[in-house]
Amino acid sequence: MSKNSTCPVCGAPTQAATRPFCSQRCADIDLGRWFSGQYRIPGPPADEENLEKPERNDER
């Protein structure tokens, strides 16, 4: 990565401690976009019959 890289969220120069972002705030914004589904990795649609059902844990 070059020394003059820019933050993918806001375009500001990156900081070594938070690279590839300029700040922890922009890193958190990016993570939130992944969690909300704004970013997606392309691929074929999943076959719902082959998806594993999550196990329910009622023990507390």
Which residues are known binding-site members?
A: 7, 10, 22, 26
Q: Which residues are annotated as a binding site for Zn(2+)?
A: 7, 10, 22, 26
Report d(CA 22, CA 40) in Å as an integer: 23
Report d(CA 6, CA 12) in Å as an integer: 5
Report d(CA 46, CA 39) in Å as an integer: 17
